[in-house]
Amino acid sequence: MPATGHTVKVNLPLSPYSVRIAAGLIERVGAEVASVSTSRRVGVVTDSTVGPLYIDRVTSSLRSGGFEPIVATIPAGEAHKTLPTLLPVYDAFLNARFERSTPIIALGGGVVGDMTGFVAATILRGVPFIQIPMTLLAMVDASVGGKTGVDHAAGKNLIGAFHQPAIVLIDPDVLKSLPPRELRSGLAECIKHEIIRDEAGFAKLEANLDRILQLDITTVADLIAHNVQIKANVVAADPFENGERVHLNFGHTFGHAIETVSNFSYAHGEAIALGMTAACHAAVKLGMLTQIDKDRITRLISRAGLPIAGMKLDVDAVVDAMFFDKKVKDGKLRFVLPGRIGHVVIRDDLPRGLVAEAIHSLKG
Ligand SMILES: NC(=O)c1ccc[n+]([C@@H]2O[C@H](COP(=O)([O-])OP(=O)(O)OC[C@H]3O[C@@H](n4cnc5c(N)ncnc54)[C@H](O)[C@@H]3O)[C@@H](O)[C@H]2O)c1
Ligand SMILES: [Zn+2]
């Protein structure tokens, strides 16, 4: 195994799986897939941006591993994360007479991962699913945990299923072709993971941030492995989001509303950066978090090239959007707020005035 190699186990009781992280892994997909499947054929779903860059390397490695790949390419971008986009994918795989044992690989960011997972969950009532996440967000967040699905006009991710992958293959080298704004967006989720679970990890991220932004691959591989471990621990403790998995929503109650009201001009991670900042503001006002910890958090977010201020959106529009979120229970908004770096609590008793004030604080 190369020096940057890591394996993280996701210990789900019924369907444990491994997340392999190693530079150059994209060239060895065939051997890795052979470790979990004896099928001859294998489906691959990619998008119109990732496909031209990587599909040849993946299919030739699959062929060397004895597989016959059948590739379906979907248009890139969240706007295409809908059921109609998937119809030609089902056609391609059903016409090729896929069987219950034929695995389907997602080669792309979180959009391709969620959509491919949904195909794998539903085609023939479920076939094995393999993730090759290609964005930092997909590596540290979307590829682990088994949430799959598509958007609907009524909201994001409203149609979906839980379907865990058989294996997740991560090659940190592929981040070199990722637009820098997408890299920073993924870093927002890494910062989130440290705030909810790991003060020492937060300090390490503070120390390593510049090397990470320069894509020093050993440091980036460590970061990915550490973040996958955090997500794996949370998911293994609460596979269906009945309890502590909700901690992963830190920054997301504010952030989703900001993302929606901005009409997606904020990238997801940028909206989450503002959302984490607003959540910290509320936590300080409630006497839960020290100003020192809040400043440390916002300094790291800002150093990662993510916004903590300068928001131009209408505060009332953001507050209203928050109450429309699918996660609102009995009209009560649930917030995940930090008590300190590395520890969060769930609160559903925030007065609307404080919520509005926290959003207003982002305008400065
Ligand atoms: N399932 C989950 O638990 C979970 C968690 C978080 C987010 N998500 C979902 O993930 C999606 C967002 O994922 P994303 O941020 O990865 O967006 P994305 O999949 O749209 O990828 C962003 C862009 O980067 C391109 N790209 C991807 N990898 C590349 C590479 N290596 N080089 C060059 N270009 C590359 C893509 O083609 C796309 O244009 C959302 O739909 C969200 O709902 C799911
Ligand atoms: Zn997120």
Q: Which of 134, 185, 245 to mutate to test the pocket of ligand 1 (most atoms within 8 A of CB)?
A: 134
Using the mean position of ligand 1's atoms as its centre, give its distance from the Cα of residue 352 in Å: 33
Distances (CA, A) of 64 to 6, 29, 30, 32: 24, 10, 6, 11
- pLDDT (0 to 100) of residue 2: 45
Cα–Cα distance between 118 and 83 in angstroms, integer?
10
State if residue 359 touches ligand 1 by the CB under 6 angstroms criterion.
no
Cα–Cα distance between 161 and 187 in angstroms, integer?
26
Give the three-class secondary structure for 114: helix
> In the annotation, is 204 catalytic?
no
pLDDT tens, position by position, for the chain (364 residues)?
Answer: 444 599 999 999 888 999 999 999 999 999 999 999 999 999 999 999 999 999 999 999 999 999 999 999 999 999 999 999 999 999 999 999 999 999 999 999 999 999 999 999 999 999 999 999 999 999 999 999 999 999 999 888 999 999 999 999 999 999 999 999 999 999 999 999 999 999 999 999 999 999 999 999 999 999 999 999 999 999 999 988 889 999 999 999 999 999 999 998 999 999 999 999 999 999 999 999 999 999 999 999 999 999 999 999 999 999 999 987 656 667 778 999 999 999 999 999 999 999 999 999 999 8
Among residues 241, 303, 357, 360, the one annotated as catalytic is 241
Q: Whose CA is nearest to atom 2 of ligand 1?
A: 142
State if residue 20 touches ligand 1 by the CB under 6 angstroms criterion.
no
Q: Which of 337, 294, 301 shows the shortest CA–CA distance to 191?
A: 301
> In the annotation, is 249 catalytic?
yes
Biggest alpha carbon–alpha carbon distance for the chain: 62
Q: Which of 333, 339, 328, 325 shows the shortest CA–CA distance to 280?
A: 339
Give the three-class secondary structure for 43: strand
State if residue 80 touches ligand 1 by the CB under 6 angstroms criterion.
no
Q: How many CA atoms lie within 13 A of 276 on its CB side?
A: 36
93 phi, psi to nearest 5 deg: -80, -35
Domains and CATH numbers, the chain: 6-177 (3.40.50.1970), 186-363 (1.20.1090.10)
> In the annotation, is 231 catalytic?
yes
> In the annotation, is 147 catalytic?
yes
Residue 82 has a CB neighbour count (10 Å cut-off) of 15
pTM of the model: 0.96
Ligand 1 atom at shortest distance from the alpha carbon of 177: 32
- pLDDT (0 to 100) of residue 1: 45
Q: Whose CA is nearest to atom 6 of ligand 1?
A: 142
Give the three-class secondary structure for 152: strand
Q: Whose CA is nearest to atom 42 of ligand 1?
A: 110
Nearest ligand to the C-alpha atom of residue 215: 1
> In the annotation, is 181 catalytic?
no
Cα–Cα distance between 323 and 275 in angstroms, integer?
15
State if residue 114 touches ligand 1 by the CB under 6 angstroms criterion.
yes
> In the annotation, is 245 catalytic?
yes
Q: Whose CA is nearest to atom 5 of ligand 1?
A: 142
- pLDDT (0 to 100) of residue 326: 59
Q: Which of 182, 234, 246 to mutate to test the pocket of ligand 1 (most atoms within 8 A of CB)?
A: 182
State if residue 112 touches ligand 1 by the CB under 6 angstroms criterion.
yes
> In the annotation, is 194 catalytic?
no
> In the annotation, is 78 catalytic?
no
Q: Which of 87, 106, 134, 95 shows the shortest CA–CA distance to 43?
A: 106
Q: Answer for the pair 23, 2: CB distance below 8 angstroms, yes or no.
A: yes
What is residue 250's DSSP assignment? T
